[in-house]
Structure 1
Amino acid sequence: MGADRDVEAVVSAVEVLREEVERARLPLDVPGRPAAETARRRLLDQLDDYVLPRLRSLDAPLLAVVGGSTGAGKSTLVNSVVGGSVSRAGVLRPTTTSPVLVHHPEDRHWFEGERILPGLARVTGADTGEDQPGTVRLAPSDTLPAGMALLDAPDIDSVVSANRELATQLLSAADLWLFVTTAARYADAVPWDLLRTAADRGTAVAIVLDRVPPEAVDEIRPHLASMLREQGLPTAPIFTVPETALDGDGRLPAESFARLRSWLEALAGDARARDIVVSQTLRGAVASLTGRAAELVAASHEQQDARDELAGAATAAFEDAHRRVADGMTNGTLLRGEVLARWQEFVGTGEFFRQVESTIGRWRDRIAAAVKGTPPPAEGLGEALHTGVAALLLANLESAGSDTARSWRRLPGGPAVLAGVPAREGSHPGTDVERLVRDWQGDVLELVRTEGQGRRTNARIAAYGVNAIGLLLMLVAFAQTGGLVGAEIGIAGGTSVLAQRVLEAIFGDQAVRDMAAKARARLLELADDLYAAERARFLEALAEHTAPEDQAQRLGAAAAGLRTVSV
């Protein structure tokens, strides 16, 4: 290992990385999320179970994890090596459901605390035969040399998923992986996936080939050695245990595993040899951290991209609604149907507008009569305008919500977020729209009063009525003919010209233009506030499924910091 200060630097860098890995969140249900979550959890487990404990306690006993496939004889092998029944063995599967850690009594203090495998509670005493999930049983043994411990792990291909996960976790906590397989199953796919991972991470591995028919040793052993070379484990020692009958205690005859036992005793008794194994595995584990962190960085970027796409879809939907409202205010849409009919009633006769092109003189007479005479009732026109504006705002509000929901259903992560969108609080959106339009109409009337401060102007407004002048201002604000066709153009044109002439006679042409612009701007402002509140419901749900914006950057920085130090 390097100097103490080098190790301290590595510990500090690994602690920073561990903090960022623990803090990392992958809340959006994008396609790569399950694999990324598994990788994150396993990375965090190895940091807690092995890398940090080993860096902080380089002189701790070597931990050899005995792992392998179902029925490979792991527990029988452990019991045979230590010369006692420390791990449950039998024909029922799975047998080892809670790991058993066998250690020399002098090494107990290394394992009874949370130095390694902090997520597993410690239990002691004989195996009662009852499953104890979430525990590791400590089994002291005088026959196991001090300086080495054996951990009997659950099957790596157990039918119980929790056992498989635990087995994978324990293998990542090993200084040495003692992989047990059989002559019949040594080429199975599942163990080789883990063996390749061990090779990629530099983990020290030894192979126990169990239950080998004596006549098949010369054929199977070379084939297994060839496979190990191909998978990047050319130096992994292979120990063969011939197929043989167990003794009365259910253990292997001593001569059948004598070579393995001698190797383990030599390793336990040679501090330098242990250091070599520990150093190989620890260096490999630390070296693998940056690449594994990079996978988490990539997953964080995927989360951010998905979040941005969902937020962008919501923003685009409500921006489209804003644009449609703005267009509806200036393309003549609001002057169709009921508003046109009520306007004709308001000025006295529909015949006037049908003949509007016949003589300019009639325009002058009508304007003079409108300004000097008593205006007709405005209630019908005002109600028609109110209804039209409310319908425009509500239709686009609902459309924006529907468009957002439709987009989210097809975008990665969207359906789960959509399911969490909170319900609207308070009144129905239609009620809010009605209130908004009334507020806007009140603002328009206040605008008329504010602009009509002069005595002469006040008199004209009083003669015609504030409500009527306000209605004319609303008509002027909306009267553009871009969206009308046929006879409607002439009617709307007459609406715009007559209403504007009346207002100009009272306020002046520039003031009328300014007032119309203010009226439109105020309606859009109120509409945007309403739409922002509706959009906030979607964004609130999205925020609950969003990782910190700087997550990928922080993970990348932590990984980069680790690359600057060495073990």
Structure 2
Amino acid sequence: MTPADDPTTLPAALHQLRAAVEATRLPLDTPDAPTARSARTELLNQLDDYIIPRASSLDAPLLAVVGGSTGAGKSTLVNSVVGEIVTKPGVLRPTTRASTLIHNPRDERWFTGDRVLPGLARLSGADQGEQDPATLRLVSSDNLPLGLALLDAPDIDSVVSANRDLARQLLSAADLWIFVTTATRYADAVPWDLLHQAAQRGTSLAIVLDRVPLDAMEEVRSDLAGMLADQGLGQSPVFAVAESKLSADGMLPLSEVVRIRGWLGSLASDAHARQIVIRRTLDGALASLDQRANALRNASSDQVAAVRALRQAPETAYAGAIEGVKEGMRDGTLLRGEVLARWQEFVGTGELLRQLEAGVGKLRDRVVAFARGRGKQEPAENLGEALHEGVAALLLAHAETAAITTVRQWRALPGGAPLADGHKELAAVSPAFHERVERLVRDWQGDVLQMVRDEAGEKRSTARFLAFGVNGIAVMLMIITFSATAGLSGAEIGIAGGSAVLAQRLLEAVFGDQAVRTLSMRARARLLERTKELYDAESGRFGTVLDTVTEGATDRDLLGPALQGVNAAR
């Protein structure tokens, strides 16, 4: 079993943490998401580029990354320290666009594979591709001591964002960061942001102060030393390079780089000193994992909460729509307007109401005579059509309100506004909704007709049943389904409310009062059941949008257990 396979070893625990970071997605565009995603990418890169490979091979050469601002002289310094042209300084800004790694020939095996910086393609020898930030040019030099590698990185303040990102990635892959600045730029904000990050993560650091006028040497060095001490970097060695004329081949005078070359050579030759630097940087990187991974956990938890709230919004809105439909069925809304007019024409409300006021004892005997004498009154189909239109309008109105309400709530919730803006169709009912509503009402009316047929049984041949027929009795059952006086007032109570009472009395004359109550409850329940299915499908549009965005995301806490494993293995 290799260390990477043994779950008790640090490399294996780090691999598990890396998998947990990879699986922790931040799909919603919440206000904090861009920062959290950037931090997640940086964490993945450092795990891949430095922490895992270094923890797996502590005896690998020390990698010193030379980084700094545009035009600070990084490439010139690298060439001068190595003693030959191994990387070409650029003329145009940004001066260093790609990366060059210089190593001793006997250390080549450590860098040709994907042990470190696996995301960069390897090139060797010729200059081809050296301006491509996605490549790492490997240069072998006998002048560089065994156990040490130098990496000339792109500018940390490059005008090209890809170069800036790569520079930060390479600095996170370093055992030792050699920060190169100049006498005129050492106080710039961008480098100090990175220096502060290096201090927080325990990265081993050396400072090269380049192009310092001799008459300002002590003043500049003293000021820089004070700034380093303020940032907790007072122990970092500082090398000052005086402003000098370059040699014909672009090299600094040997006298200006001899101290840097000697210091790096001593690190390379002294295994104990080299291990101190490596261990300090690795321990600092490992110590930073808790804070960084926990910040990612918090961001992931915020995303889970945001997804939950976004899913709850349509559920609440469409539940409210169902309640609205129920209220519309109770408050007599559907017994107004066209339905009321058709009902009056169908049964001649005034005449039968007068008969009801006289007493209901002889109603059963009057039903047949009344029904046979309706003459040219409105047929049941027209009343059923008016009910159909009223029910469809009720369902449509509450569905439209639910869609608008959900979109409004999404816009107020974290991560919801971009989804609403990207799916403007959600603010209205779906294109096929009107057709589905029409079909629902027709199917429900068919349900009511079947209820009447099933309940009638042997009563189909009775005079009371034949007086109105299946359709007539069915529409009266629909009238009862939407009957109540709670929402009516004034004359409406006497007309709409009285009409509902009339329908109930007529049906009781056919089926009996208990059967009528049962039938009306079943009809109401069936309509609500169909409506819920319809609204669930409408609500599901919002869930589909969320599912598309959050596909592959999980609300499980993978980072917590993985962190515990790393801390236990350290």
Q: Tell me whether the two structures share a fold, i.e. TM-score over 0.5.
A: yes
Partner of 2:366: 369
What does the per-residue CA deviation read over 1:7-39, in whole Å, with 9 as the maximum and x for residues that have no partner? 962112111110011112111110001101100
Q: Structure 1 residues 56, 130: closer, same or farther in 2, change over 3 A?
A: closer
What does the per-residue CA deviation read over 1:251-309, in whole Å, with 9 as the maximum and x for residues that have no partner? 10000111111000000111111111111111111111121111111111121122122
Letter in 1 for 2:550: T
Match status 1:416 vs 2:418: yes
Letter in 2 for 1:415: A
Other structure's SS at 2:114 match: coil
Other structure's SS at 1:60 match: coil
Q: Structure 1 residues 371, 191: closer, same or farther in 2, change over 3 A?
A: farther
Question: Could you tell me whether the CA contact under 8 Å between 2:67 and 2:177 is conserved in 1?
Answer: yes
* 1:245-264 equivalent positions in 2, closer than 5 A: 245-264=245-264
Letter in 2 for 1:543: D
Shift of residue 233, structure 1, vs aligned partner? 1.4
Letter in 2 for 1:278: I
Question: Could you tell me whether the CA contact under 8 Å between 2:133 and 2:166 is conserved in 1?
Answer: no
Whole-angstrom CA distance in 2 between matches of 1:549 and 1:168: 28
Whole-angstrom CA distance in 1 between matches of 2:130 and 2:236: 36
Other structure's SS at 2:207 match: strand
Q: Structure 1 residues 313, 451: closer, same or farther in 2, change over 3 A?
A: same
Other structure's SS at 1:252 match: coil
Match status 1:352 vs 2:351: yes
Other structure's SS at 1:545 match: helix
Q: Structure 1 residues 410, 477: closer, same or farther in 2, change over 3 A?
A: same
Equivalent of 1:464 in 461, 468, 472? 468
Whole-angstrom CA distance in 2 between matches of 1:500 and 1:462: 17
Partner of 1:541: 545
Shift of residue 420, structure 1, vs aligned partner? 4.4
Whole-angstrom CA distance in 2 between matches of 1:462 and 1:79: 108
Shift of residue 486, structure 1, vs aligned partner? 1.4
Other structure's SS at 1:249 match: coil
Letter in 1 for 2:351: F
Structure 1's unaligned 5+ residue stretches are none
Letter in 2 for 1:452: A
Match status 1:493 vs 2:497: yes
Shift of residue 510, structure 1, vs aligned partner? 1.8
Q: Structure 1 residues 288, 236: closer, same or farther in 2, change over 3 A?
A: same
Question: Could you tell me whether the CA contact under 8 Å between 1:6 and 1:565 is conserved in 2?
Answer: no
Question: Could you tell me whether the CA contact under 8 Å between 2:473 and 2:507 is conserved in 1?
Answer: yes
TM-score under structure 1 normalisation?
0.94
Whole-angstrom CA distance in 2 between matches of 1:425 and 1:497: 36
Shift of residue 363, structure 1, vs aligned partner? 5.7
Equivalenced residues, count: 561
Equivalent of 2:519 in 515, 518, 538? 515
Match status 1:117 vs 2:117: yes
Question: Could you tell me whether the CA contact under 8 Å between 1:28 and 1:303 is conserved in 2?
Answer: yes
Question: Could you tell me whether the CA contact under 8 Å between 1:306 and 1:413 is conserved in 2?
Answer: yes
Shift of residue 370, structure 1, vs aligned partner? 2.6
Partner of 1:386: 388
Q: Structure 1 residues 543, 109: closer, same or farther in 2, change over 3 A?
A: same
Q: Structure 1 residues 231, 379: closer, same or farther in 2, change over 3 A?
A: same
Whole-angstrom CA distance in 2 between matches of 1:403 and 1:203: 52
What does the per-residue CA deviation read over 1:394-421, in whole Å, with 9 as the maximum and x for residues that have no partner? 1111221222223223332223323247
Other structure's SS at 1:137 match: strand
Partner of 1:82: 82
Other structure's SS at 1:220 match: helix
Letter in 2 for 1:387: E
Whole-angstrom CA distance in 2 between matches of 1:246 and 1:371: 119
Whole-angstrom CA distance in 2 between matches of 1:40 and 1:34: 10
Other structure's SS at 1:250 match: coil
Q: Structure 1 residues 67, 359: closer, same or farther in 2, change over 3 A?
A: closer
Partner of 2:566: 562
Shift of residue 367, structure 1, vs aligned partner? 5.7
Partner of 1:21: 21
* 1:17-56 equivalent positions in 2, closer than 5 A: 17-56=17-56
Whole-angstrom CA distance in 2 between matches of 1:72 and 1:558: 41
Shift of residue 427, structure 1, vs aligned partner? 6.4
TM-score under structure 2 normalisation?
0.93
Partner of 2:151: 151
Partner of 2:509: 505
Partner of 2:528: 524
Structure 2's unaligned 5+ residue stretches are none
Whole-angstrom CA distance in 1 between matches of 2:321 and 2:7: 60
Letter in 2 for 1:124: S
Question: Could you tell me whether the CA contact under 8 Å between 1:24 and 1:547 is conserved in 2?
Answer: no
Shift of residue 359, structure 1, vs aligned partner? 7.0
Whole-angstrom CA distance in 1 between matches of 2:86 and 2:500: 97
Whole-angstrom CA distance in 2 between matches of 1:35 and 1:413: 14
Tell me which moved more, 189-198 or 555-564.
555-564
Question: Could you tell me whether the CA contact under 8 Å between 2:202 and 2:285 is conserved in 1?
Answer: yes
Question: Could you tell me whether the CA contact under 8 Å between 1:25 and 1:547 is conserved in 2?
Answer: no
Partner of 2:105: 105
Whole-angstrom CA distance in 2 between matches of 1:7 and 1:283: 20
